Amino acid sequence: MPGKVKVKILAGRNLPVMDRSSDTTDAYVEIKLGGITHKTDVFRKSLNPQWNSEWFIFEVDDAELQDEPLQIRLMDYDTYSANDAIGKVYLDLNPLLVTPGLSGRGIARAETCSVPSSGGTVLSGWLPVYDTMHGMRGEVSVIVKVELFSDVNKFRQSSCGIQFFSTPATPYGFKIQSIQGFVKELVVNDDPEYQWIDKIRTPRASNEARQTLFSQLSGEVRRKIGLKVLELGGNAVVGYQQMFDLEGVTGLVVRGIGTAVTLARCHSDGNSAVTWFKDQHHGNGRERESDRLRLHHSEPVLQLDDYDPLATSSLLPRFCRLQSLPMHEDSKQLPKKPPQLHGSNSSVKLLDSCGVVKVPAKRKLSLSNLFAKSSVKGKITRPQAPTSSNTLLVPGDDETSKGSPQTRIRSRSLICEMSPIQESYGDSVTESQENSPINKILVPTIIQPTDVISLPIGPEHNLLVPAEHFFSVLEPQESSSFRFQNAQDETCSSGSEMSLNSFALQAKSKVGQSFEQSFSSLLIDDSEDISSNVVLNATTYPPLPEMHPIFPYQIRSPRCTAISPVDVIKPLASTTITAPVVVHGTTPSRPTPCARRSSESEINTTPKASSLSDSFGSSGGGISSNCRPAAHRQTSVPAAPTNTYLNGVDVTRNLDALEYPFLTMKTYPPGFIVHVGGTVSARSVKLLDRINNSEEPETRDNWWTEIRMEVRSHARALGCAVILGYEEHTSISEEVCVLSASGTAAVVKLQHEVDTKDINHGKNNAVNTDDGKVNLPCRVCHIPYSKASIPFPIKLSRCAVCRKGKVPDVLIATIEPPTGMPVSGRGCLIQARLCRPKRAESRGDQQAKEISDGLPFLEYELHRQLINKLRTKGMNAIFHLKVQVSIGERHVVGVATGTALFLSALPTPSLPKPSNPSISSKQSKRGRIHKLLIEANAASQERYGLNKQLNKVNDVEEPKWTDSDDTDEDANDLDLTAGNKDSCVIEIDDIEDIDVIELLIDPETPEGFDVVTTETVPGLPIDSIRRRPNLQAFNRVWKGKIPTLHAARHLNRCFEMILRSIYFKLRKSRPCVITNLEFSVDLPEDDEIQITVLGTAITAFSKTTIEVAPCIGTSLRGVGSTESEMIFHLEDDVQLVTSNEQAASTARVNQPNRHIPLPPPSNQGPLKTSVDKAKIFVQKERQPVDIVTLIHLPGSRVERYLGHLNFFFIRESTSIREDGGLSGFMQSFITEVLGIVRAHVSALGGNAMVSYFMTQCVLLHNPHKNQGQCLINVGGDVVLAARCTPDKDV
Amino acid sequence: MECSVDVFVGNTTVIDPEIYQLWVDGNSAHEAADILQQRGILQQWGANMDLLMSDVLDHYRTFHMLEKTLHTPLKLTAAGEWTFQIDGDTQQMLIEKYYELDDVVVREVLGKKLSSRHRKDLDEVSEKTAISLRSCRRQFDNVKRIHKFVEELPGHIVNNIQHNFLLSTELSRKYAAVVFIAVNRFETTKRKLQYLNFSDFYHCAHQMIEHWSSTSCHATSIRNQPETEMEIETDLDVDRGFLHDLREVRILLDKEKELKHLVCSQLKGRLTDKIYSDMESSFKTHSRSLVLLAGNLNRSRELRSLFVDLVERCVEPLRQARWTSRDLRLFLDYYTPAGVQLFKSDSATALVWERYMKVISSCLVKIYHN
């Protein structure tokens, strides 16, 4: 129940004329949240109405608060006809839910103390009124407040307080206390655009229905992910990515992935922990203490344990699973303090076991030991009482509770109370069994219990709880006790559910001479739709011998065979995971070996299971507080290949032990990454089928599970346990869908763990220990596997920096270059583009197969192009690589974009050498090409300063090199004659190959531009952009025809043109750094290609302009004295008051830092000046809102994060020609969208948005009807930033 | 390269002043690109025509979107919409340039009714002035818009324009002059007036705004009008009370001899003999026309034809007599005080005379050219 939303509508301005006769509008406002609607009075005959309404109050459930947007609709009142809609404002309330006072476990807590600002809970300002048919239509001034009651309900469905960051890094001002791991969620719905009703309703109604739905689904996904995070014990999600898959008739899939972490404020975190601790220990009695703890720092804990009441209760009669959620984040940071104080608690989770079980005969009990002080040990036998749901409360008195729902947890005051409603739910569900609608609704939620520790459960379905488990959580030494040895956990939980989802994965692999032959796996959903759910995951690898050396890592281990066909960037691995065919009967009483929900997949081939289970019991926390017990996997997957576990992996066993050791962040703290293995990726081609039960999107889940498993296995093959910079994408054309997942395999280290690790792992991690001690900056580049275990020909050489480690000749990663890694020269953009024709006539299976067959070739070519370009540039590493494969009617396009750089540790690349063995007459031509390449190479070295650096390195290093005792390393260095292993030999057989070579030489980037896909230009001194730079996030959309003939060449030209047009556009802001450049390609129509480019241009001030720079701040504001003064007074009073508050808080934030006070939000009133005249500029004009795609604001410092925004807009027009053509339509749409984003940023009290993204930009055009429609999904993190004062920099 | 969509949208609206000027001047996108090409932009940046064209089109679309906002410049700045994010200097530049007036065009527009009928005739104006039609239309529309907006506003017209359209003082004054002439419907289009350029009218209008309007400093001098009435006055209207009082100066017709004596005695030796003798001989005519003009100004028809009258009765005879403008200034310099002297018994009328002659002298001197 816990939310009260108060809305006040103050005024409107610049409204459109709705009444032609009087040239005015009779406007009123409808405010809608969930099912409740309020209205203001009609303000007659004005384009600038002043409603000044009373507070409209909505009392809503917090789950609803998270899902539902607040809809503010402006209407024009008509006496005689129907009232006309003017437009709407969608307000995402989520940023208001992360209130400083209520936020999860200490985020922003410290900050709250120092800055008691209401900024988090109040939104106020002028928001643009938007209509899908007319665009922007004036603005409305609103104030929205959210009052959250602390929800102590353990089983709630909401996850308020979990903060989301699209920032793929540690947010500024925070540190990550612990990483809980990968979180994901997927929600499926029908797309209103394809429902029958769409045929009879107006385009506006249809668009609005869609916008509303998207907004709801987006909220829902976030809420559910939040729940998982709570469950995992985290308090935030970083690197959050949300995607909308518009499948068309088969529906709409909203996917969210992110990394659950526990964040703490950087500075005051330690202190607060200490206080807590004291609080604890000086309390009267234990019970007291824990209660107090609750009261003071309740939210995190509460949230952690809260569960969707509906979901949970519905499951009560069935299975309950005992889980514990230990949290050790503190133990890492503050080893002397009881780690658990923050949030460590193992709690009972009533886990659904998927509601399909017909016979609720066997049960498991859930235990919760929240702050258990007394140990509970014993067996709890559940009588088979179907009517009763029960929870076992660990703490104190009622250790065994059973029977009626009312016995539920009373003792721990607030925490465990359940509202009667929920209880009754429990009952009703019991009666109605799983077929009840409630149950269905709940199913998606149920997916959550993924990464949770399960306690062992005896075969008799008794609970056997190890005693230590319940020992006081307050005692540090017990922290490790949260790991339980587990037997067959989760025993019988999801019996029948399994049967629904279990599938057979048939894998056959043929091993050709030097390559993997076609390999296909067939996925059969045994319950429904067998035929439609054909997974074509097949690939053929051509024998491409020369390709070997370019893949730094290939592992062919006899033990494990992998599914890696589709991945070219990564090895031609020959590993196959054979998953057992698990078909479960519907008898739940039979303990099934594989007890997890199938969304987590049964193909949990965890190769290192055995080693894990060994050390499991003693594992000391680490990154994840909830490792998946590996032993269970072992049992569940009998056929699992054994240990492919290589050295160095142990370091990360905790992360690794996660089902998905994926981190979506791209930037990591220094020292976190030990080794970078390389890029791993997987693709899969699927046929879209109707999602029959949208509440249970199992097929989609399975698809992703499958792919994630594959990615994971690739990483393992590289000896890496963790995947960093993980991303997922889809490309849909008609009924075929290509799913892609990629990331960077790496070995990571948690600083605090080093010691124990080294002791534990003996010889295997020799390399690791070695390096760990030395802590060389170049270590990151060293290979994570031992040289001996590489069965494939790969060129390894000694690290050019330390001469100790082995390095590959090329390193490719999707993450940002780790800090401190030695780089020579500067980085630059590198891009490979490829277009392959496709037979248009094929449909369905045929088409899917064709695409699937073609993908490996595409990827191989792409990779070859990339590597050759890299060599031509004279560089040896690529970071922040993004490979996108898009499918269309006639073409398949692959684009790989990254930042090339020269790693000092890696060997100097050899220049590609054209060879033409067959035709000698073309000698001259070959010579010419060679010359071209040499020239390009020289130019690049000059341009990016490789030359200088290289020489330097060589000068210094040369002697050492020869001194090296390991001489055969040198021989390894370069041997062009060594046959076709060398990738740097380009064969010219035909005209096309010549094309290929010409494609290798990129036109030079104009002087004054540095273009990269990374956050900063590697190798470029930071000071060059330190000074108050101009920041400009830009969206470039280009759509044009792509001819079938010479498509590849044409595509190349398109990209060149787009890049050059960007340079040209920004010509006047040179010198300029273009960062975070991101391309995405869509093939919407037969022969059309749409390229969307996103990036941030940072105008660096050169030496000469430095003097000018300081003036910028003032000149921005100091324009026009009298007129601005006037404007000023037009401001609304109420506005002034609130903004004054904000100003005050800002002033406080800023003073100590000697920063120019920040542009607190929009509408600054004159009152502000009275706050602190000396410190604050009189804001005469609206402060600009910076938007960047970066995680930071160059020249500014992020003070606070104010929430994550995610918008979905639709714009439709039936007068495209009159609007200035499609370009005009698009331009005004994007402009307006950015305007709306800025307005929302400002209304939330921010002045900038970081990590801005535009993930969807779907443009549909019907020239005959003069009609067009566009969908855009944009968002980012709202921040309040302090701009550095110029003098500070000087 | 053939494409259907080609846009670049930055968070900060990208404005290229050079291209903006070309747009304001009424060039089409292609013309603008050609001009830029001739200026050597392609060589300078190593671009080709496609890129240039794409960039120009992009800007043009932005300008097109901006145009609506520019009609109400307040929306562009602080209190404005969120759609565009443009820094203050650039905003100022955008507005100023958009409202820029070409004197030749304004001269053509001056005195015409700002109706759509006249808007259609702008192609003639364009032909005559060699300013592109688009630019003429923009200027016409701007004048019309500002006229419509300020017409009814109380207070100082220049300030009104400046505050509501955020223009520079200079530009606001231009608009003020145009609006003033339009509101008072001064005749400016007669053939005889063709030789006058905009700056002449600009000067005269501001003289009148400054000295003759209801809000001018002299307003309260004669009749003590109630304060409340004063407040709703605007300097767009010529002070009716003043015009009414002007009838009193006809007394001068009776005192012509004294007047002539006063003036002649002062001017003797200061003018060349030839001019002096002409002045002496035709003093009656000159003086009469000025005094009669004053006496009749309270009739609105007379007021409207003020410029025609000045040219017909004063400028042309003097020109025939080959007076130089220095001669004229000298004459007026002594003529006004002489009149004041004759009113010494009636200080109110003396003030009225002075107020009248201040403007007339200034205007006459200004318009006395070829």
Q: Do B81 and A1220 touch (CB under 8 A)?
A: no
Q: Residues 235-254, chain B: which have Cβ within 8 Å of A?
A: none
Confidence of residue A895 (pLDDT cuts 50, 70, 90): very high
Is pLDDT larger for residue A852 or for residue A1114?
Answer: A852
Alpha-carbon span A523 to A505, nearest angstrom: 6
Tokens of B31: 């013309």
Nearest of A735, A365, A386, A738 to residue A536 by alpha carbon: A738
Q: Does A1131 score more than 60 pLDDT?
A: no
Alpha-carbon span A464 to A65, nearest angstrom: 39
Nearest of B323, B307, B118 to residue B197 by alpha carbon: B307
Alpha-carbon span A600 to A1067, nearest angstrom: 51
- Residue A93: CB partners within 8 Å, gap ≥ 6? A5, A65, A66, A68, A69, A70, A144, A146
Is pLDDT larger for residue A333 or for residue A1021?
Answer: A1021
Any chain A CB within 8 A of the CB of B46? yes
Any chain B CB within 8 A of the CB of A1259? yes
Percent pLDDT > 90 in chain A is 11
Nearest residue of chain B to residue A1233 (CA atoms) = B83
Confidence of residue A1101 (pLDDT cuts 50, 70, 90): low
Tokens of A1137: 């008051």
CA angle A85, A91, A95 (to 5 degrees): 180
What's the pLDDT score for residue A754?
A: 38
Any chain B CB within 8 A of the CB of A1189? no
Any chain A CB within 8 A of the CB of B88? yes
Contacts of B11 in chain A (CB under 8 A): 1031-1034, 1185-1187, 1234, 1238
Confidence of residue B342 (pLDDT cuts 50, 70, 90): confident
A507-521 pLDDT, tens digit per residue, is 222 323 333 332 322
Alpha-carbon span A551 to A571, nearest angstrom: 6
What's the pLDDT score for residue B119?
A: 79
B152-178 pLDDT, tens digit per residue, is 888 888 888 888 888 999 999 999 999
- Residue A455: CB partners within 8 Å, gap ≥ 6? A321, A322, A323, A324, A367, A463, A464, A465, A469, A484, A486, A489
What's the pLDDT score for residue A1274?
A: 92
Highest mean pLDDT among A482-486, A576-580, B21-25, B128-132: B21-25
Confidence of residue A1212 (pLDDT cuts 50, 70, 90): very high
Nearest residue of chain B to residue A1187 (CA atoms) = B11
Q: What is the mean pLDDT of residues A627-642?
A: 31
- Residue A513: CB partners within 8 Å, gap ≥ 6? A543
Confidence of residue A174 (pLDDT cuts 50, 70, 90): confident
What's the pLDDT score for residue A89?
A: 93
Highest mean pLDDT among A657-666, A809-818, A1132-1141: A809-818
Contacts of B64 in chain A (CB under 8 A): 1220, 1224
Mapped onto helix, strand or coil, the DSSP state of residue A976 is: coil
The answer to whether A575 touches A891, Cβ cutoff 8 Å, is: no
Determine which of A219-233, A245-259, A990-1004, B161-175 has the lowest per-residue pLDDT on average.
A990-1004
Widest pairwise Cα distance in chain A: 96
Alpha-carbon span B166 to B178, nearest angstrom: 17
Q: Residues 160-179, chain B: which have Cβ within 8 Å of A?
A: 162-163, 166
Alpha-carbon span A1173 to A1193, nearest angstrom: 26
Percent pLDDT > 70 in chain A is 50
Alpha-carbon span A906 to A796, nearest angstrom: 9
Any chain B CB within 8 A of the CB of A1067? yes
Q: Do B81 and A1185 touch (CB under 8 A)?
A: no
Q: What is the mean pLDDT of residues A234-255?
A: 87
Q: Do A1231 and B6 touch (CB under 8 A)?
A: no
Determine the distance in angstroms separating the CA of B170 from the nearest CA of chain A, rounded to an integer: 14
Any chain B CB within 8 A of the CB of A1097? yes
A287-346 pLDDT, tens digit per residue, is 333 333 333 333 333 232 333 333 333 333 333 333 333 333 333 333 333 333 333 333
Q: Does B310 score more than 70 pLDDT?
A: yes
Q: What is the mean pLDDT of residues A857-878?
A: 86
A1027-1066 pLDDT, tens digit per residue, is 567 788 899 999 988 877 778 888 888 888 898 888 888 8
Highest mean pLDDT among A350-359, B6-15, B209-218, B274-283: B6-15
Q: Which of B6, B11, B13 sits opposite A1033 (nearest CB)?
A: B11
Any chain B CB within 8 A of the CB of A1185? yes
What's the pLDDT score for residue A567?
A: 34
Determine the distance in angstroms separating the CA of A1063 from the nearest CA of chain B, rounded to an integer: 9
The answer to whether A1193 touches A1250, Cβ cutoff 8 Å, is: yes
Determine which of A161-175, A1065-1079, A1275-1289 has the lowest per-residue pLDDT on average.
A1275-1289
Q: Is the dihedral of CA A1063, A1068, A1073, A1079 positive or negative?
A: negative
Determine which of A246-255, A939-948, B126-135 has the lowest per-residue pLDDT on average.
A939-948
Q: Does A539 score more than 70 pLDDT?
A: no
Q: Which of B54, B77, B89 sits opposite A1061 (nearest CB)?
A: B54
A418-471 pLDDT, tens digit per residue, is 333 333 333 333 333 333 333 333 323 232 332 333 333 333 333 333 333 333
Determine which of A69-83, A539-553, A879-893 has the lowest per-residue pLDDT on average.
A539-553
Mean pLDDT, chain B, rounded, equals 83
Confidence of residue A874 (pLDDT cuts 50, 70, 90): confident
Contacts of A1261 in chain B (CB under 8 A): 4
Say which DSSP state A628 is in: P
First to last CA, chain B: 56
Q: Does A29 score more than 90 pLDDT?
A: yes
- Residue B113: CB partners within 8 Å, gap ≥ 6? none
* A695 CB neighbour count, 10 Å cutoff: 18
Q: Do B85 and A1054 touch (CB under 8 A)?
A: no
Any chain A CB within 8 A of the CB of B192? no
Q: What is the mean pLDDT of residues A1226-1233?
A: 92
Q: Do A1065 and B14 touch (CB under 8 A)?
A: yes
A1211 forms bridges with which residues in the sheet?
A: A1270
Contacts of A1130 in chain B (CB under 8 A): 79
Q: Residues 125-154, chain A: which have Cβ within 8 Å of B?
A: 126, 128, 136, 139
- Strands A877-887 and A811-812 turn out to be parallel
Determine which of A969-978, B16-25, B76-85 has the lowest per-residue pLDDT on average.
A969-978
What's the pLDDT score for residue A789?
A: 61
Tokens of A660: 């998905």
Confidence of residue A721 (pLDDT cuts 50, 70, 90): confident
Any chain A CB within 8 A of the CB of B155? no
A725-750 pLDDT, tens digit per residue, is 999 999 988 788 899 999 998 888 76
* A766 CB neighbour count, 10 Å cutoff: 13
A1172-1211 pLDDT, tens digit per residue, is 333 333 334 567 888 989 888 887 888 888 889 999 999 9
Nearest of A712, A713, A662, A708 to residue A684 by alpha carbon: A708
Alpha-carbon span A250 to A688, nearest angstrom: 7
φ/ψ of B279, rounded to 5, equals: -65, -45
Mean pLDDT, chain A, rounded, equals 62
Q: What is the mean pLDDT of residues A951-960?
A: 39
Q: Residues 105-144, chain B: which have Cβ within 8 Å of A?
A: none
Q: Residues 1077-1096, chain A: which have Cβ within 8 Å of B?
A: 1088, 1090
Tokens of B334: 């002594």
Alpha-carbon span A901 to A645, nearest angstrom: 31
Q: Does A30 score more than 70 pLDDT?
A: yes
B200-239 pLDDT, tens digit per residue, is 899 998 888 888 877 665 544 444 444 444 455 667 778 8
Confidence of residue A361 (pLDDT cuts 50, 70, 90): very low
Q: Do A1230 and B57 touch (CB under 8 A)?
A: no
CA quadruple A98, A103, A105, A110: dihedral, nearest 10: 110
Any chain B CB within 8 A of the CB of A48? no
Contacts of A1231 in chain B (CB under 8 A): 9, 13, 62, 65, 83-84
What's the distance, CA A1213 to chain centroid?
Answer: 33
Confidence of residue A696 (pLDDT cuts 50, 70, 90): low
Tally the residues of chain A: 1290
Q: Residues 1214-1233, chain A: which have Cβ within 8 Å of B?
A: 1220-1224, 1226-1228, 1230-1232
Any chain B CB within 8 A of the CB of A1124? yes
What's the pLDDT score for residue A398?
A: 35
